[in-house]
Amino acid sequence: MTLSVRQFVTGQALPPCLYLDANVLIAFIVRNHQKNIAAIQLVGEAVSSQCEILVSLLALDEVWHSLAEIWGQSETPRKKVTGAMMKQYAPRLTAKTRDILDLDGVIVLPGRADDGRDIVNIVLKLLSASEMRSRDLFHAGYALHRIAGGLATTDDDFEKLALPDARDFAVIKL
């Protein structure tokens, strides 16, 4: 069980299958995000190296919520995300989601109907072995279920990941 944590550097080899955490997707989309350029470079290198790019429904949910918060803050500071806001931003959210889904190599997880139970079982193993928040455990569970070689993130939380089996897994930080 080898967990390696490394900073993303342009030109470094990426795993052939890479899970993108929601924060990387947000950095990729939001132009004034402090990690926007790094996220664009990472995604560009994943596409050009024909990497399988894994994106979960959980990550998309977090992206939508965060974008609605960001866009809502520019209109009314401290405004809670509401259903009306989601409807208002639906065209923008649709366009941004299409930008992600149209990237070469993107696979949306879970794939099959029975994958959900398998992912939950992986997450339950991680829960007792890793000091991580539930959403991060689920992101890791998606990546590990798909046998991804790594996970790209802006978080330090994944350094606490205790792998449930013998495999090499890289946490690539922007």
Contact between 29 and 99 (Cβ < 8 Å): yes
Pairing of strands 52-56, 106-109: parallel
Answer whether the bond into residue 110 is a cis peptide, omega within 30°. yes
Rounded CA gap, 167 and 2, in Å?
6
Rounded CA gap, 111 and 123, in Å?
17
- The least confident of 16-25, 46-55, 101-110, 130-139 is 130-139
Q: Does residue 56 form part of some domain?
A: yes
Q: Is the pLDDT of residue 3 over 90?
A: no
pLDDT confidence bin for 72, thresholds 50/70/90? confident
- Contact residues for 71 (Cβ-Cβ < 8 A; gap 6+): 85, 89, 92
Q: Does residue 127 form part of some domain?
A: no
Q: Does residue 130 form part of some domain?
A: no
Structural domains of the chain, count = 1
Q: Does residue 136 form part of some domain?
A: no
**According to DSSP H, which parts of 13-88 are helical?**
22-29, 36-48, 57-75, 83-88
Q: Does residue 159 form part of some domain?
A: no
Q: Does residue 27 form part of some domain?
A: yes
Q: Does residue 53 form part of some domain?
A: yes
Contact between 129 and 162 (Cβ < 8 Å): yes
Q: How does DSSP assign 98-130, residue by residue? A: HHHHTSTTEEEE--STTHHHHHHHHHHHHHHH-
Q: Print the domain residue range for 93.
A: 2-108+149-154+165-173
Q: Does residue 128 form part of some domain?
A: no
Task: Give the mean pLDDT of 97-116.
Answer: 85
- Written as one letter, the residue type at 106 is V
Q: Which two tokens stand for residue 65?
A: 């919520």
> Per DSSP, what are the bridge partners of residue 152?
20, 172
Contact between 23 and 109 (Cβ < 8 Å): no
Neighbours of 70 (CB within 10 A): 15
- Per-residue pLDDT tens over the stretch 143-170: 888 877 889 999 888 888 888 777 788 8
